[in-house]
Amino acid sequence: MKKIILLAATFGLQQAVQAQKYMTRSAQVSFFSSTAVENIEAINNEVASVFDAATGELVFIVPIKSFKFDRALMQEHFNENYLESDQFPKADFKGKIENAAAINYTKEGTTSVKAVGALTMHGVTQQVAVPGTLTVKNGNLIFKAVFKVKNKDYKIVIPSIAAKKVAEVVEVTINSPLAPLKK
Amino acid sequence: MNIRIPKFLFLFGGLLCAFPSFAQDDLTALLGDTKEKPSNVSATFKTTRIVNGHSIEGVAKGVMDIKISHRFGRLNQGAVDLFGLDNAYIRIGADYGLTDNITIGMGRSNVDKEFDGYAKIKLLKQKDQGGTPLAISYVAAMSLKAFRTPVGESFVLADRMCYAHQLLLAKKVNTSLSVQLTPTLVHYNLVDYSSYSNNLIAMGFGARMKVSSRASINAEYYYVLNKWDNAQTPFTNNFSLGMDIETGGHVFQFMLTNTQAMTERNFIGQTTGQWGKGDIHFGFNLGRVFTIKQPKGFEGSRNSTY
């Protein structure tokens, strides 16, 4: 009998640990560039993300070509001239949510968190620290964050002719609903 | 049967299952099976024309591309005509994306008071990552010479019309080089001499080489298989060298070409300029795009309204 309980307990533990990974392939990442001349917002609904509650590790993979613009020519220029998506098809973030251990993943609510790690895009990697929130709801998680990216830091060159239309610093918004990973 | 298994083995085994390594590479590997689907190759050419003729590019759905084109006179007209700049052929046109696959266009040229219209349909799209290796589009074009009928002559409507059918086979070889083959049939309802064929068959060759992210050098050549035979002013094949410069919403195309015309019936079949003799025309196409219909999915976005 003891053996059975032990067996059940260890399997139970295994289940619990597995449930601590959360994933999505349809997180939304958008960016917003605002200048006196024009505002540009592009939306990407095909971002993949995985979060490990046990370790706090957080990964985002962003396919660059999936950013949609309301003006088709902007999308072409974004891919061709700025992000050079043929050469650099993906951006990614690999890091950690610092205070992940302090969150109770069984209790509904929203916690302020800080994601720290390496953001790679356009072939350039920078260390970033991004404040955000993590919400527990119906056993799922929602990670949200808003942060600024300086084009120069990632060697994204805005030519003088477009300088009035494209901001030097763009605002990135992340909305990532994560579901528990099932085996 | 009672086999004794030490309890710690259970515990150990269970924990082993329960405690896989949590290195980040494993997390990335979880996402690793996001096999990237081959996506459509974009920007094979900068705009809907290579120089005079059509490129594989259409206009996106709901977008209008207004094109103002000039071809000046021949450089060998000399200083008195400011090397041709004194007399220009002008075409004003608009291309519009009905859908992402169908572009229609209209234009009017001052020479022969010619109206032209076309439809360009994407039949096959080139894809990256080992997908479809080339793109195919079909262009059907027609033109109508609306000049006043000279006294004593008669031109019924049908006499004024010409048609062109083109199959565009294009390939973006790499990020800087694109090439296009353009088998073409041009039909003239009325020709000047009975010895002239009403149907001309031509093969177009086009290429562009990017020299920077915003500029490219283009070349275009139309070889006519059954050229009309005219001893006095022999017809020649159209050859053009151009440069595209793109500045946000505008595309400027500058060119040197041996024709002054901008419609297929004219520059493919009725070119008479000879590069070797200096019958070279300077010209430009200026394109400006306007988004007429906002695409779906941007309701409530912070994009500038227009």
Rounded mean pLDDT of chain A? Answer: 88
Q: HSE-up of B52 (CA within 13 Å, CB side)?
A: 31
Per-residue confidence (pLDDT) for residue B248, from 0 to 100: 78
> A45: distance to nearest CA of chain B, Å?
11
Lowest mean pLDDT among A85-94, B28-37, B75-84, B253-262: B28-37
A2 pLDDT band, cuts 50/70/90, is low
Residue B28 belongs to what H/E stretch?
helix B24-32
Helix, coil or strand: residue A107? coil
List residues bridging with B170 in a β-sheet: B135, B180
With a CB cutoff of 8 Å and minimum separation 6, the contacts of B227 are B200, B235, B237, B269
Q: What percent of chain B has pLDDT over 90?
A: 68
pLDDT (mean) for B158-183: 96
B5 with A79: Cβ contact below 8 A? no
Q: Is residue B239 part of a domain?
A: yes
Per-residue confidence (pLDDT) for residue A7, from 0 to 100: 59
CATH code (residue B147) = 2.40.160.40
Q: Which domains does chain A have, with CATH numbers?
A: 19-180 (2.40.128.110)
Separation CA A101–CA A54 (nearest Å): 7
> B14: distance to nearest CA of chain A, Å?
5
A152 pLDDT band, cuts 50/70/90, is very high
A14, A38, A72 member nearest B304 (Cβ): A38
pLDDT above 50: residue B193: yes
CA distances from A73 to A4, B101, B202, B247 (A): 65, 15, 32, 11
pLDDT (mean) for A53-74: 92
* B250 interfaces chain A, CB cutoff of 8 Å: no
Number of domains in chain B: 1
Q: Is residue B233 part of a domain?
A: yes
pLDDT above 50: residue B1: yes
Separation CA A70–CA A74 (nearest Å): 8
Decide: A59 and B24 in contact? Cβ < 8 Å: yes
A14, A59, A79 member nearest B14 (Cβ): A14
With a CB cutoff of 8 Å and minimum separation 6, the contacts of A140 are A22, A177, A178, A179, A180
With a CB cutoff of 8 Å and minimum separation 6, the contacts of B263 are B91, B107, B109, B114, B116, B141, B143, B162
> B93: distance to nearest CA of chain A, Å?
19
Lowest mean pLDDT among A36-50, B11-25, B44-58: B11-25
B303 pLDDT band, cuts 50/70/90, is confident
Q: Is residue B301 part of a domain?
A: no
Separation CA A146–CA A123 (nearest Å): 22
Q: What percent of chain B has pLDDT over 70?
A: 90
A65, A77, A165 member nearest B39 (Cβ): A65
pLDDT above 90: residue B247: no
**Tokens found for residue B72:** 């000046």
Task: Concatenate the DSSP letters of all residues of B69-108 into one string.
Answer: EEEEEEGGG-GGGGGGTTSEEEEEEEEEESSSSEEEEEEE
Q: Is residue B101 part of a domain?
A: yes
Residue of A nearest to B289 (CA): A73
Q: Is residue B163 part of a domain?
A: yes
> B158: distance to nearest CA of chain A, Å?
39
pLDDT (mean) for A110-130: 95
pLDDT above 80: residue A182: no
Its ipTM equals 0.74
B21 pLDDT band, cuts 50/70/90, is very low
Decide: A37 and A165 in contact? Cβ < 8 Å: yes
Residue of B nearest to A90 (CA): B36
pLDDT above 90: residue B128: no
Q: Is residue B114 part of a domain?
A: yes
Per-residue pLDDT tens over the stretch B102-111: 999 999 999 9
Which among B257, B255, B259 is positioned nearest to B271, based on CA atoms? B259
Q: Is residue B72 part of a domain?
A: yes
Per-residue confidence (pLDDT) for residue A70, from 0 to 100: 87
DSSP code of B53? Answer: S
Per-residue pLDDT tens over the stretch A6-40: 655 555 554 444 458 999 999 999 999 998 888 99
Separation CA A105–CA A99 (nearest Å): 12
Which residue range(s) make up the domain with B110?
63-291
Buried b / exposed e across B75-92, counting CB within 10 Å, b at 16+? Answer: bebeeeeebbeeebbebe
Residue B127, number of CB atoms within 10 A of its CB = 16
* B39 interfaces chain A, CB cutoff of 8 Å: yes
Per-residue confidence (pLDDT) for residue A64, from 0 to 100: 94
Helix, coil or strand: residue A126? strand
pTM of the full predicted structure? 0.82
Which among B50, B144, B48, B49 is positioned nearest to B103, based on CA atoms? B48
Per-residue confidence (pLDDT) for residue A18, from 0 to 100: 46
Q: Is residue B183 part of a domain?
A: yes
* B31 interfaces chain A, CB cutoff of 8 Å: yes
A73 with B17: Cβ contact below 8 A? no
Name, of A49-53, B157-161, B203-207, the range with top average pLDDT: B203-207
Which among B297, B41, B214 is positioned nearest to A85, based on CA atoms? B41
